[in-house]
Amino acid sequence: MTTTTQRTRIRIDGMDCPSCAMKVETAARRAVGVREVSVSATTRMMTLDHDGRVDLAAMGETIRGLGYGFAPVQPSEPKAAPAPREAQGCCGGGCGDHDHAAHDNDGHDLGKAKAPTNIHAHHVHDDEPGVTWWRTAKARLTFAAAAAVAAAWLLGAAFPAQRPALFIIATFVGLAPIARRAAMAALNGSPFTIETLMTVAAFGAMAIGAQEEAAVVVILFLLGEMLEGFAAGRARASIQSLAALTPRVALRDNDGAIEDVEARSLRIGDVILIRPGDRAPADGQVIEGDSGLDESPITGESAPVRKSVGDAVFAGSINGAGALRVRVTADAEDNTIARIVRLVEDAQESKAPTQRMIDRFARWYTPGVMVVAALVALVPPLALSAAWGEWIYKGLAILLIGCPCALVISTPAAVAASLSAGARRGLLIKGGATLETLGHVTRVAFDKTGTLTQGRPQVTDVIAFAASGSETLRLAAGVETGSSHPLAQAILDRARRDGLAPAPARDQAALPGEGVSATIEGRAHFLGSLAAAQARGALSDDAAARIAALQGEGKSIAVLIRDNETLGALAMRDEPREDAREGLAALAALGVETAMLSGDAPPVAQAVGEGLGVETRAGLKPQDKQAVLNEWRGRGAVVAMVGDGVNDAPALAAADVGVAMGGGTDVALETED
């Protein structure tokens, strides 16, 4: 008889590395009724498949005894069969043409997703909302142990005869919780852990009279754990902050009546209203309206993308000037932002075993270290009549040297000097392992927007038809005065650089899907897209051909019309950084291959790539960039990824080395190395 399998998701606070996850998984698998367990140190979640007989209360007590929190985040629910959740494609549909008409308004405040409250946890963990790092349990224990050692040192100076006893007491302040966790892990299927090594080494040191060394080693161990927890919490918080890219509240159209609902309650088929300046709360398809959307946080598109009926809208994109009605095409847990989060988490999970190889093989490595330490301590005295004290001390030293956390703490001086030298040059490197990997990189992938380019459009060409170039620029700046649209800012910046004052304008109005109109010197002026200019019949065949040639170079075009006469046009593009070509040439001189991976429209990216002389792949979604990097790594390349946006985060996490630009998004800065 087949029984129904239930799935329960449980929040496990306090995990910072794969070794932690392995201990929790081993303990959970021993419970009656458990069929499958999956534990993620990155998300601090455990997925438990069971037949309903499992005693979650008893399991919670066991895992708390290991030093971790335990809180189910949703009730058990029947499911047909266990199936791993696969990372799905991130974005559907293609990128539309650049639309000069979509003007950006100030963004609305965004509600942040609430983290589940751990009502069962018995102490504060690093990633709980509002908890500063010095108030966490690991930090408090580290400070208490350090204070105890300082007190032992001061009192020992005053009372030398009591110095050994004082240091033993100080050692136990930090060692007691470590020893308790080691004992609980041993009772629950993990007898050989980092805590076991530290406990044996500390007790052995005290037994041979090295009480001060034992106390200092315990403090260093606790310090390493505290710093590891802090770093892991920072990275985890940045990934969770991606949820802020989608608003907490959505406007649902209920048969003509607009109602405020929670964005996470939206379901496929719902119709929502996205007002000018709002962020899209869900993935969907436009069923009414025409506007330009800023998709740069999601796809890397450098200019707003025009959206009209039938076009795809991605959660987190920012609406421009026109209101849109959108039919939802994905549930909240499966929208663009949610999929990007999963891509980042999955990439970090697959990368962690390589970064922490000792933890991965701890079930064989740790017993091996203990056997070697025992042989070093026993064989010379027994076989060669060597001094017991000397060789026991050496055996205990091997235990400490063999501890994975001790290896991290004992970073060579050369690595520390390299990190400091990098910091003085503006390079913030997250560890010695990254330095080692950088030396073996054979291929570097670059994002385009904000990485190889300036990250903002600039006026590259002013085309004169019925007016001079300077007059065209002066009038266009007048039409755009007061606008915050990126292309408008490019026109105003170019006018300032050329020393031209914008023409005085009034009655300015945005025309959704077309452009902007204004009255200047008593005459009607229009500045907008090529399609809108052609619809007005004001463009000659020769002018249209000249503009089409500029569009072929990946440039956005704004045509200036007065009454029915075409005065001129302006071409704009996000131009490369001044030092981009030099940087690519330096890598080529080192024998390192380079490529540009861009979410921007192919004509735009190809034009920039050809100008820089770099291999280009364009129109890539976040998971596409990640797939390209995995393909290269599968062929044996050691890959570095350089980027700055949300859409780069999965690739940054998947690369052997992730490099983020200093002005990038928080998630990019925390995902990279």
Q: Residues with catalytic annotation?
A: 447
Run of H or E residues at 479 = helix 469-480
Contact 19, 404 (CB under 8 A): yes
For 642-656, give one letter per residue: b (16+ CB within 10 A) or e: bbbbbbbbbbbbbbb
Q: Where are the alpha helices (DSSP H) in 50-162?
A: 56-65, 137-158
**Cβ contacts of 272 within 8 Å, gap of 6 or more:** 250, 251, 252, 253, 266, 281, 282, 284, 325, 326, 328
Distance from C-alpha of 366 to C-alpha of 402, rounded to nearest angstrom: 8
Parallel, antiparallel, or unpaired: how do β-strands 305-307 and 34-40 relate? Answer: unpaired
| DSSP-assigned letters across all residues of 6-69 | EEEEEE-TT--SHHHHHHHHHHHHTSTTEEEEEEETTTTEEEEEE-S---HHHHHHHHHHTT--
To the nearest 10 degrees (0 to 180), the angle between helices 211-240 and 163-187 is 50
Alpha carbon 554 to chain centroid, angstroms: 29
Closest among 287, 276, 283 to 298, alpha carbons compared: 283
Element (H, E) at 250: strand 249-254
Looking at the DSSP bridge assignments, the partners of residue 446 are 596, 642
CA 450 to CA 443: how far, in whole Å? 20
- 513 conformational bin, left if phi > 0, alpha if psi -120 to 50, beta if neither: left
Q: What whole-number distance in Å separates Cα of residue 73 and Cα of residue 47?
A: 10
Q: What is the dihedral of CA 392, 393, 395, 396, to 10 degrees?
A: 120
User: How far lies 126's CA from each of 26, 41, 244, 469, 577, in Å?
Assistant: 23, 13, 20, 59, 39
AA identity, residue 369 = V
Q: Measured on CA atoms in the order 194, 135, 671, 313, is the torsion positive or negative?
A: positive
Question: Residue 109 and residue 496: Cα distance in Å, rounded?
Answer: 32
Dihedral sign for Cα 577, 581, 584, 590, please. Answer: negative
Within a 10 A sphere around the Cβ of 230, how many other Cβ atoms?
A: 17
345: number of CA atoms within 13 Å, CB side?
Answer: 22
Q: What is the DSSP letter of 90?
A: S
**Nearest alpha carbon to residue 90 among 297, 318, 303:** 297
3-state helix, strand, coil split of the chain in percent (to 5) is 45, 20, 35
DSSP 8-state class, residue 394: H
564 touches 584 (CB < 8 A): no
Question: What's the rounded Cα separation, in Å, for the pair 623 and 637?
Answer: 19
Please name the amino acid found at residue 84.
P
